[in-house]
């Protein structure tokens, strides 16, 4: 085993602080990675503060981070896809059972026995897994991803969650050139949805409650921007969308968007509001519309997403921070005071 510097939370009310952790020695199928950048996901904040205690209670100390990009330092004897010096990435998953129908279909995100990158039982060292707010990580080759060389590493790190979370439903439901696609919300997820929908050739419409986001939405690739509080503007788009991606995590009325879908069209939720939603059945019945949800993607699809990003030079818009500013970043995250993701420069750990 080896020691690694990291930042961890000791309790739900404790700030993240410097610590050292143990990382396992690579097995024959493992890849050891020096972490260069780690994106900050809102789920990191929820997990650190034990806000999902009813579903996924936090085990402390907790070291979050599942948007990991780094440089391979060592590989096991059976590893064939990576070598020392390669730029590689790790997302939300570091293992699965490999035998269930979901895994066999290449959709490990739906495995009933997954191992998440942090706060899940660690079969190697005991305790729980530790995430990317650290200087290194060791992961089975099956869950390590190749990163196109042309992508900026700081901006590429959030692709491992924000990227795949928005790419997967667009890909699964076959969004393509000439379709009309709506993106609800322009935050960490929504801004990636805009970039992907635009790159796929869709006529992309952003829905936002904030007039001050209009210019930025167009910069990111939106063809139109609709202020969702304006009922007349909303009504102009009735029955016209092929697909709507809802990336809002705050409580909101999705019945404002369902009437905008055309016949046999889809609205997909990737945000996770805290309170249950009320849905008018007539908004689905009239037009045979569907409402569904989506989460990250399997390893194969995540690699396809990274390759797509390489082809179209897509990365997340990030604000790079040192690890020492992570607690401040969490407070700003609550206020949506970031455009559009924080990316931690893990070189800052060297000064600890």
Q: How confident is the model at residue 163 (pLDDT cuts 50, 70, 90)?
A: very high
Looking at the domain that runs over 2-161+297-351, which CATH code has it been given? 3.90.180.10
Q: How confident is the model at residue 289 (pLDDT cuts 50, 70, 90)?
A: very high
What pLDDT, on a 0 to 100 scale, did the predictor assign at position 18? 98
Per-residue pLDDT tens for 20-38?
A: 999 999 999 999 999 999 9
Q: What is the pTM of this model?
A: 0.96
Q: How confident is the model at residue 275 (pLDDT cuts 50, 70, 90)?
A: confident
- Topology annotation, domain 163-293: Rossmann fold (3.40.50)
What pLDDT, on a 0 to 100 scale, did the predictor assign at position 54? 85
What pLDDT, on a 0 to 100 scale, did the predictor assign at position 222? 98
pLDDT for residue 274 is more than 80: no
Yes or no: say if 304 and 329 are a contact pair by the CB < 8 Å rule.
no
What pLDDT, on a 0 to 100 scale, did the predictor assign at position 46? 92
Element (H, E) at 243: strand 241-246
Domain edges within the chain: 2-161+297-351, 163-293
Cis amide leading into 61 (omega within 30): yes
| Of 105, 115, 44, the residue nearest 343 (C-alpha) | 44
Per-residue pLDDT tens for 100-114?
A: 999 999 999 999 999
Per-residue pLDDT tens for 64-85?
A: 999 999 999 999 999 999 999 9
Q: What distance in Å separates the CA atoms of residue 120 and residue 221, rounded to the nearest whole number?
A: 37
> Helices 162-172 and 190-199: crossing angle, nearest 10°?
50
% of residues, the chain, pLDDT over 70:
100
């Amino acid at each position: 085993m080896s020691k690694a510097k990291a930042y961890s939370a000791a309790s739900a009310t404790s700030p993240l602080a410097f610590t050292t952790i143990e990382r396992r020695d690579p097995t024959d199928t493992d890849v050891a990675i020096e972490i260069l950048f780690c994106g900050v996901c809102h789920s990191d904040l929820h997990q650190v503060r034990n806000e999902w205690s009813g579903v996924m209670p936090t085990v402390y100390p907790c070291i979050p981070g599942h948007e990991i990009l780094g440089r391979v330092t060592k590989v096991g004897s059976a590893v064939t896809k990576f070598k020392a010096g390669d730029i590689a990435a790790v997302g939300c998953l570091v293992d699965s059972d490999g035998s269930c129908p979901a895994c066999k279909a290449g959709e490990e995100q739906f495995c009933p026995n997954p191992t998440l990158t942090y706060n899940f039982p660690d079969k190697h060292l005991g305790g729980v897994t530790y995430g990317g707010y650290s200087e290194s990580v060791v992961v089975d080759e099956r869950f390590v991803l190749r990163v196109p060389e042309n992508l900026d590493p700081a901006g590429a790190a959030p692709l491992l969650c924000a990227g795949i979370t928005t790419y997967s439903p667009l890909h699964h439901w076959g969004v393509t050139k000439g379709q009309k696609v709506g993106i609800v919300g322009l935050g960490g997820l929504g801004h990636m949805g805009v970039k992907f929908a635009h790159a796929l050739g869709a006529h992309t419409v952003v829905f936002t409650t904030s007039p001050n986001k209009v210019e930025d939405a167009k910069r990111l690739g939106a063809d139109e921007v609709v202020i969702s509080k304006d009922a007349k503007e909303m009504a102009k788009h009735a029955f016209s969308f092929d697909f709507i991606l809802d990336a809002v995590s705050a409580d909101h009325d999705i019945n404002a968007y369902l009437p905008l879908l055309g016949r046999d069209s889809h609205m997909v939720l990737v945000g996770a509001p805290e309170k249950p939603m009320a849905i008018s059945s007539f908004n689905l019945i009239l037009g045979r519309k569907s409402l569904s949800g989506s989460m990250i993607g399997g390893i194969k699809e995540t690699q396809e997403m990274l390759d797509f990003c390489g082809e179209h030079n897509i990365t997340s818009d990030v604000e790079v921070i040192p690890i020492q500013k992570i607690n401040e970043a969490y407070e700003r995250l609550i206020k949506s005071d970031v455009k559009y993701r924080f990316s931690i420069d893990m070189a800052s750990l060297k000064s600890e």
